[in-house]
């Protein structure tokens, strides 16, 4: 090049970017082999970058398989592969099938078990490898590890799946039967569609999707979602429409489910997640199921106060203190050093960050030992509509109290405020957020405790046993657990949704009978939080959380196929009476 623009001390040209020499393919003292061909069992060639430690010798290998460009190697969260190489590992960063430098067609989830197993075997045979292999990666790259582990490749000694789920229907594409819309649409439009179109030579179409990213919130407002013109017209991401068509947990989803393969996974796994991550329930499920009967520390769990990204001390404008940041890379390296190099890896099987106290707590398992499930009952006399109502939470069962009634308006859904949506922050800011705007609506029921006389430590999964009715064939129930501080500021701790027709099964939905009272078991979510003395617990109940989840039209029809004029206002009733005592189930743990 005739000129080399300079930004600070970084020279951007064809020679050097910081200490990275692109032409000679070195990263400081780490040698990198780019685009190394990795043949799969069906003849498809995937490509990987191989990072070699500075000193000659034999080293174990770490494999990261990503759909988001191997050159980036998920450095949005992890340290660069060069750091792992300097710690004595051969690092293989690979583009999954059909993405970036790898051949083949990208079909989400479908090839990761076999391709991952083949790549692990290939990495074990690299020149300079000891034959021992570990894997790492988060989100899709976390799921790809578990799918590969289910093939039981002989060289796989350990894995570190992070921020990933146990099922691609439940707690990935759908949550409680509702489409996980903010995540799914943002993922497809911002992460998958453009590279797919560009590699297919459809550059005008790729440019159209790229331009649409400037106004992502607009993409959520169109109905029906099954007609999504941006993807229909460009031909991008045809699998997105498959996900909408398969809106129950049918064989399409079961055939690729990690949960269905748990019995086949033998590798030691370090499961890493965040309390505000969209996949936290799946992360906990992976650990709990794989750790069942495990007495030798082959399964570990590490959960911080993080959203999907980043993994620092500040999340959603809330600072969780110095212990919350800089944790994951060192935890992974200690895990790899133990299983791949034989170093000591002492410590408890479970380590969770307790928000509110802003400290780590060790435990022997999940749920943590010493959990006492407390019932906190809903009450109201005049009505719990909005924060101006008289909705209350306490430990006493209700007497005969009138039901709380509100209308659910699909055309005017309750807006998302923080939470677990992995999406563009302009759409749904992730993590803890102020709930005052949500609580001011009359279509939100608000139940609040008296100020706490002492600290209350909640660690585990919060459930709501709800007695409720609607006047239509279907509706949604949304619940949030909120922390109200002494000044009245409200912050969401966890939340969940249940589409009513999925109350008994995610595989076989059952329509409602209008006005018939049903008993629902709604998962509000898993957390670890200390509600401080003088704070109050608050429960919010409503029927939408948009665009985190798609809006139920309340007609019994599939939400994704419903047009803008096919919506039905539903009248909702929540009961708290002696015969129908709606209540929260709080997992309370004594301090230690």
Catalytic center residues: 139, 277, 308
Helix H or strand E segment including 141: helix 140-149
Burial class (CB in 10 A: 0-12, 13-18, 19+), 405: middle
**108, 96 contact by CB (below 8 A):** no
Helix H or strand E segment including 11: strand 10-11
Hey, is 175 helix, strand or coil? strand
Helix H or strand E segment including 33: strand 30-39
Is the Cα dihedral 362, 368, 369, 371 positive or negative? positive
What's the rounded Cα separation, in Å, for the pair 63 and 93?
A: 6
Q: Would you list the DSSP string of 512-581?
A: PPTT--EEEEEEEEEEEEEE-TT-EEEEEEES--BTTSPPP-SSSS-GGG--TT----EEEEEEEETTEE
Burial class (CB in 10 A: 0-12, 13-18, 19+), 63: buried
What's the rounded Cα separation, in Å, for the pair 569 and 588?
A: 38
Q: How many CA atoms lie within 13 A of 270 on its CB side?
A: 26
Q: Would you list the DSSP string of 341-409?
A: H-----S-SEEEEEBTTTEEEEESSSSPTTEEEEEEEEE-SS--BSTTS--EEESSPP-S-PPEEEEE-
Burial class (CB in 10 A: 0-12, 13-18, 19+), 215: exposed
* Buried b or exposed e, range 298-324, using 16+ CB within 10 angstroms: ebbbbbbbbbbbebbbebbebebeeeb
Number of neighbours of residue 57 by Cβ within 10 angstroms: 10
Hey, is 186 helix, strand or coil? helix
What's the rounded Cα separation, in Å, for the pair 403 and 379?
A: 9
Structure token digits, residue 524: 């509000």
Work out the angle at residue 119's Cα, subtended by the Cα atoms of residues 118 and 123, and round it to the nearest 5 degrees.
Answer: 120
Nearest to 177 by CA among 469, 443, 559: 559
Instruction: Report the chain's terminal Cα–Cα distance, integer Å.
Output: 63
Structure token digits, residue 496: 């969940």
């Amino acid at each position: 090049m005739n000129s080399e623009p300079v930004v600070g001390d970084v020279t951007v040209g064809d020679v050097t970017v910081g200490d990275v020499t692109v032409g000679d393919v070195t990263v400081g003292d780490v040698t990198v082999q780019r685009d190394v061909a990795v043949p799969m069992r069906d003849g498809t060639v995937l490509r990987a970058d191989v990072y070699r430690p500075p000193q000659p010798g034999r080293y174990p290998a770490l494999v990261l398989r990503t759909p988001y460009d191997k050159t980036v190697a998920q450095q949005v969260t992890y340290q660069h592969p060069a750091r792992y190489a300097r710690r004595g590992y051969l690092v293989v960063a690979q583009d999954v099938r059909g993405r970036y430098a790898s051949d083949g067609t990208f079909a989400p989830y479908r090839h990761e078990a076999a391709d991952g197993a083949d790549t692990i075997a290939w990495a074990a045979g690299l020149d300079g490898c000891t034959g021992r292999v570990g894997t790492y990666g988060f989100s899709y790259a976390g799921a790809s590890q578990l799918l590969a582990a289910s093939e039981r490749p002989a060289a796989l000694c350990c894995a570190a799946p992070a921020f990933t789920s146990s099922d691609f229907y439940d707690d990935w594409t759908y949550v409680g039967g509702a489409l996980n819309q903010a995540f799914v649409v943002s993922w497809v439009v911002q992460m998958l569609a453009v590279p797919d179109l560009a590699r297919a030579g459809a550059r005008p179409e790729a440019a159209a999707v790229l331009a649409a990213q400037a106004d992502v919130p607009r993409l959520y407002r169109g109905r029906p979602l099954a007609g999504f013109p941006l993807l229909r017209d460009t031909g991008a991401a045809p699998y997105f429409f498959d996900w909408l068509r398969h809106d129950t947990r049918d064989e399409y989803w079961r055939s690729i489910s990690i949960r269905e393969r748990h019995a086949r996974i033998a590798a030691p796994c370090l499961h890493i997640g965040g309390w505000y991550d969209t996949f936290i329930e799946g992360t906990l499920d992976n650990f709990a199921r794989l750790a069942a009967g495990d007495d030798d520390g082959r399964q570990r769990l590490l959960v911080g106060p993080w959203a999907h990204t980043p993994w620092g001390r500040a999340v959603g404008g809330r600072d969780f203190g110095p212990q919350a940041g800089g944790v994951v890379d060192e935890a992974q390296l200690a895990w790899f050093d133990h299983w791949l190099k034989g170093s000591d890896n002492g410590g408890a099987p479970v380590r969770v960050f307790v928000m509110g106290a802003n400290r780590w707590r060790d435990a022997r398992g999940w749920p943590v030992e010493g959990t006492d499930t407390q019932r906190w009952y809903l009450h109201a006399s005049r009505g719990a509509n909005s924060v101006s109502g008289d909705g209350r939470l306490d430990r006493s069962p209700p007497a005969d109290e009138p039901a709380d009634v509100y209308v659910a308006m699909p055309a005017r859904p309750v807006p998302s405020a923080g939470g677990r949506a992995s999406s563009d922050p302009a759409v749904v800011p992730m993590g803890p957020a102020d709930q005052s705007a949500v609580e001011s609506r009359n279509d939100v029921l608000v139940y609040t405790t008296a100020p706490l006389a002492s600290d209350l430590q909640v660690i585990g999964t919060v459930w709501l046993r709800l007695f409720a009715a609607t006047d239509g064939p279907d509706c949604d129930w949304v619940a949030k657990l909120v922390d109200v501080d002494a000044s009245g500021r409200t912050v969401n701790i966890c939340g969940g949704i249940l589409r009513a027709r999925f109350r008994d099964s995610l595989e076989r939905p059952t329509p409602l009978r209008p006005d018939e009272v049903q008993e629902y078991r709604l998962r509000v979510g898993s957390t670890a939080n200390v509600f401080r003395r003088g704070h109050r617990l608050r429960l919010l109940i409503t029927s939408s959380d948009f665009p985190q989840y798609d809006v139920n039209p309340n007609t019994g029809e599939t939400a994704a196929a419903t047009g803008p004029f096919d919506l039905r206002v539903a009248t909702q009733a929540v009961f708290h009476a002696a015969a129908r005592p709606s209540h929260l189930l709080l997992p309370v743990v004594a301090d230690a």
